[in-house]
Structure 1
Amino acid sequence: MTTRTLYLFCSAAPPVFDVARVIEEAQARGWDVCLGLTPSAAEWLDESLDGLAALTGHPVRSRYKRPGEPDAWPPPDAVLVASATMNTVNAWALGLTDRWVVGVVAEGIGKGIPMAVMPCVNAAYAEHPQFAKSLDTLRTAGVRVLYGPEGFEPNPPGEKRPYPWTTALDAAADLTP
Structure 2
Amino acid sequence: MLYVIACGGRPAGELAGFVTHAQAGGWTVCVVTTPSGTKFIDAARLAELTGHPVRSDYKRPEEPDVLPPADAMAVVPATFNTTNKWAAGISDTLALGLLNEALGLGLPIVSVPWPNAALARHPAFAGSVAALREWG
How would you bin the TM-score normalised by the shorter chain? over 0.9
Which residue is 1:14 aligned to?
10
Q: CA deviation at 1:98?
A: 0.7
- Larger-gyration structure (1/2): 1
Q: Is the 8 A contact 2:10 2:40 kept in 1?
A: no
Which residue is 1:75 aligned to?
69
Instruction: Name structure 1 gaps, 5 residues minimum.
Output: 143-177
Q: CA deviation at 1:51?
A: 2.1
Q: CA deviation at 1:103?
A: 0.8
The residue identity in structure 1 corresponding to 2:106 is: G
Task: Say if 2:44 is the partner of 1:53.
Answer: no
Which residue is 1:28 aligned to?
24
Q: CA RMSD in A?
A: 1.1
Q: CA deviation at 1:15?
A: 0.5
Per-residue deviation, residues 67-101 of structure 1 (Å, max 9, x unmatched): 13221111111100110000010010011111110
Alpha-carbon distance in 1 for matches of 2:108, 2:65: 20
Q: CA deviation at 1:141?
A: 1.6
TM-score using structure 2 length: 0.95
Dislocated runs of 4+, deviation >4 Å: none
**Residues matched between the structures, number:** 136
Identity %: 46
Alpha-carbon distance in 1 for matches of 2:93, 2:66: 18
Q: Which protein has greater RCO, CA pairs closer than 8 Å, 6+ apart?
A: 2
Q: Secondary structure in 2 aligned to 1:116?
A: strand
